[in-house]
A and B are shown apart, each in its own frame.
Chain A
Amino acid sequence: MGNPYFSPNNSEQLRVLRATEPEAVLRVSNLNVSAGDHHILKNINLEIPKNRITVLLGPSGCGKTTLLKCMNKLTDLYRELKVTGNIYIDNDDILNTTASIPDIRQKMGLLSQRPYPLPVSIYKNVAYGLKLKGVRDKKLIAFNVEKHLREVGLWEEVKNRLNSPASSLSIGQQQRLCLARGLAVKPGIILADEPTSALDPTSSKIIEDLFRDMKKHYTIILVTHVLRQAIRLADHVIFMHDGEIIEQGPPEELFENARTDKLRAYLIDGN
């Protein structure tokens, strides 16, 4: 494919990595989602490896976003959705638990297709999650706001206008601010739902670079239908089609040796 991520060296490295298989931080078992007669997700089984970028790949409408919303229980907002099965995070089945939903959600940061900064200042956006966590010490809040804005490479751009409305930032900056806001609640997992779809190529590249850096500390689940983005970022790929998982595994295996016609067709169309 001529892509540096698929050079023999990288494949070799990945084989070594697989020998020391990372533990799964999230496990989905027999997950089914339906809305009336429409079966949106069909018997989904998967494992998300820790500190890796797992890409949920597939055409629009194949159920990627629904799967992501199941993971942080945002499907609860849709009464018409019937969700059955198990999603284990830290050995706790979040679909059948008595644990508080806000606590479950704080284990995951969400980055949506377009940024949704809160209607407050840049500073307060990042501080919001900290306050939800019960942090009241102003110095600690200020320290963490700076830390997380630096983490997403936004600090230098906004340090002199922290009290400006978040909506005054460019859309790319807003997306990084939303990422910083999500990181402030100390999640272990980042759920990213096509986070670059509304961004220009420069802003998209910044987000992609951030993800590569962040995987040292976070597990990232990235939903995308852009094949090139999957190729650039994926450590683990799950290909979905029509609510089903068609293939999953390391990217070089899936992209170079697709086993199913659906994936082969998708790769041809995507390229």
Chain B
Amino acid sequence: MLEEKFFIRLSALFTYSLIAVLAFIIIVIFYKGFAALNWDMVLKTPKGGYYYGGEGGVLNAITGSLYIAIGATLIAVLIGMPAALYLNVQLIRYRRTQNTIRYFLDALWGIPSIVYGAFGFTLMLFFGMNASLLAGIITVALLISPIMVRTFDEVLCTIPKGLHEASLALGSTRTETAFRVMFKQGFPGFITAVLLSFGRGIGDAASVLFTAGYTDNIPVTLDEPAATLPLAIFFQLGSPIPEVRDRAFAASIILTIIILSISLGARLLSKRFSKTNLK
């Protein structure tokens, strides 16, 4: 009894410690960056002398990050959804092949993002491209695709096999079962997977360091370089000027708000679309 109480309290301590870490991160970045946060930060691009404490904001990095994350997420969904459905519907009889594919996807998931960045950089050189929005989008898409496929896969794995069989027994083909039943049942989970991958994409610095480049302008075409929030934070945090370092924390607040909003949105949408689902 005493032993059980001890382990319950220990588990509770670890659980609340993790939540406390999140709270602590938010408090620190708000404490350090709130004073520097203003509408100019969000609505203006850097003007001359911004990195020496001059006026301007990080609109270039906000839009660049959103462009890259949205583009990469769209590509990853287009790759990930059919791949996950193929894995769970067409390969349902081939467990060994399924497991082998899952192993490779997990390995891809575990590769550090800087390696993706280096790979993207090599591809850029091979195709004679410059650091650009397109190169950033492709690299981040490669980074988040395995995450997306495996998360979709996990969602599909939770769908009862009986539902799959019920659909086939009605005379559906495997493709009809995949798109009309499995997709529908998994939809709330897919939304969560998409938004979490988006969050990963928007927050990654290493993969875009060599591929997207950095610019003070908002990219208009795909072959222009694009700034990103993580790199904006990185560059400003390395500045010897205190005002610029404070702006790095203000940019961190913006990035954190975007990611927390996405996380909240994922939960709300997931709840909204799970109403018709088989419980």
Contacts and interface: CB of A to CB of B under 8 A. Distances in A.
Interface in A119-146: 119-121, 128-129, 132-133
Interface stretch (A6-14, A49-57, A74-82, A148-156): A74-82
B170 A119 contact: no
Contact of B93 (A76, A121, A178, A182): A76
Given A116-B163, A120-B184, A181 B95 contact: no
A112 B275 contact: no
Interface residues of A, number: 34
Contacts of A178: 166
A121 to B, nearest CB: 7
A132 B171 contact: yes
Contacts of B180: 118, 128
Interface stretch (A85-93, A102-110, A210-218): A102-110
B170 A79 contact: no
B100 interface: no
Contacts, number: 85
A74 to B, nearest CB: 6
B277 interface: yes
A39 interface: no
A219 interface: no
B176 A119 contact: no
Contacts of A121: 276
A18 to B, nearest CB: 32
Interface in B101-116: none
A117 B168 contact: no
A185 interface: yes
Given A76-B93, A116-B165, 20 more contacts: A72-B169, A74-B165, A77-B92, A77-B165, A79-B93, A103-B171, A109-B169, A116-B278, A118-B163, A118-B180, A118-B181, A118-B184, A119-B163, A119-B277, A119-B278, A121-B276, A129-B170, A129-B171, A132-B176, A185-B170
26 contacts: A74-B169, A77-B92, A79-B94, A79-B95, A102-B168, A102-B173, A105-B168, A105-B170, A106-B171, A110-B166, A110-B170, A116-B160, A117-B278, A118-B167, A118-B181, A119-B184, A121-B276, A128-B180, A129-B171, A132-B176, A165-B275, A166-B276, A167-B278, A182-B170, A185-B171, A191-B169
Interface of A: 72, 74, 76-79, 102-103, 105-106, 108-110, 112-114, 116-121, 128-129, 132-133, 165-167, 178, 181-182, 185, 191
